[in-house]
Structure 1
């Protein structure tokens, strides 16, 4: 590939060698280091490719070997420039296009966020905009380390962040702690400030449940298998008591409690489907219908359109196809091209039958069960039934599930026992005086 590009830039020729002994000519070229390639026989003669700079060296060889050399075709940039040497506007436009591409390569035109599941792209992009990180900023002003540091500081559930500039694309990869809820994260930050740097988390029940198993890796367990707990009860404490030889508590050590806790609980399920619905029929295939189309080119805040969407359809929908221009893999441009189409349709009111309603609710229930399994929950009992009414149908009931029931909450910080005893003695002394 690189060799072909070099040959194109320098220029090369397709020549035809004929005469009494063309083999002597080939041997002479090899002896003098003249590169030949693409050699083939052509009706008693030979055709081959040769670099432009070597063509001037073969005149003496052709006379000495009694051969005749004829140029069949010319390739490369020198011949292209010579052919269009009078078209100054063409070269000026090519130069301006190259300069424009170079200028555009100095900016960020796309922010690609990967690995996020709890946080949406829109939420993270809004945070980046608040930090003055946005499309259109210069690539040289992007501080990847600062972006990673700010994201970790703003979102406690993001445990790892990587930011890198690839061409005109800012790629941000994140890894989230899926066991932490957004509400818990805010509580953890408040607890860290209140504890003056002492960080600790408890594991609390997220549902009213029965504890089936508990394996504690870190912290102090407060419940056992078979216990009935309420939502919010502490299951494993992140506060560890420090005792002296007499067994008295002399202080506390705080840690992030870790345990595998499985519980069983009931969760309600309800889903409703209306009997009437709107049925849309699209008129794609009718020969007498001509859909209105509009092509657009959007560059930054400028939009150029070709076509017309105004129509006399009674009912219609807008269908939009859009694509961003990308050179290579990572060179995104702030240019979008696409097409908008006004698609005529007919809207009619239809009604589901009882069997159709039952099928829809059954499919939705199966999808909900699959989502529960993805979360690590096992359904042990199903008490969901379908009730059909005049205007709707409803699936109602309860599910008995088994799975993780613990969530992190901040540990309550207690005063040091020794400090508390000293304060109590001072209060008693002051009272006696």
Structure 2
């Protein structure tokens, strides 16, 4: 490895020597202290390699023995550097383009909003710009989590806001609050789920609940200041209630894991088969069938899209035969409880609104006489229940 690097750094020349006294030529070269590498004799003469620094020293032995020396090839760093030096403009252009791309890759060039239905994307972007999230700023200097939290506080209709950086683009993901379909309550703020009210802040409208009250999903929390009469014109503006109703909400889920279990698992061994598909016909080139006693197949097709919706009629197919084997598992009580708790916690996380903080978490072990362990996970959150009813 190091010898190759040394050879490349100093450079070498492959030459062809012709003449009637090649043996005498080699002797004269040796007397000059010149080392020849990979010497080969052919019908045309003698081929050999020599260091770039020693090539000029071949003149005296060649002149004395009347030998003609022709360069066949050159390789090594000195020749690469000389070639690039003759193309200084191209080299400078590459350096400039690489520098510009490096700088641009650290900037925010575009901002987009996804997941919004009722919220206006322009309004979300305008609020984000006031918080410092704008184009042509260094993305590493931005506190994306802090900006997302501030945006969520400024937008009452947003249940959760997340900001992701994908290269030079920033994507603001919005999850709007669920609006129950209650036609008679247009403009009112209703409860998205059941909970105990702890804080009420009314900006516009009339509160119909009080702190400490237990509310159910769909119950009107803040009534709009103007009732929407069915006899009014369709295009007449409707006043809507505005405010926040924060409450304690509970979520729970159970997980159950047996102490003794027989199941089928993947062993980790995979046999890959490749083939081609022409129309509806499949021709397998390798691994036409699974070499395992038990296995499942995963088929992956690879097609070439040449232009718009037109694809090449021949597709490549890869079939992965994944080996399966029977596993007998015996767990201790503590191991089964730990796995059941993980399953229950994962189910609770699916029910939670994204971005809502957990105030309290309780884990309860339930009695079970069926040879398994049952665990219940109960989570208490503090979140805003007020959402608008759908018209």
Q: Same fold (TM over 0.5)?
A: no
TM-score (norm 2): 0.44
TM-score (norm 1): 0.41
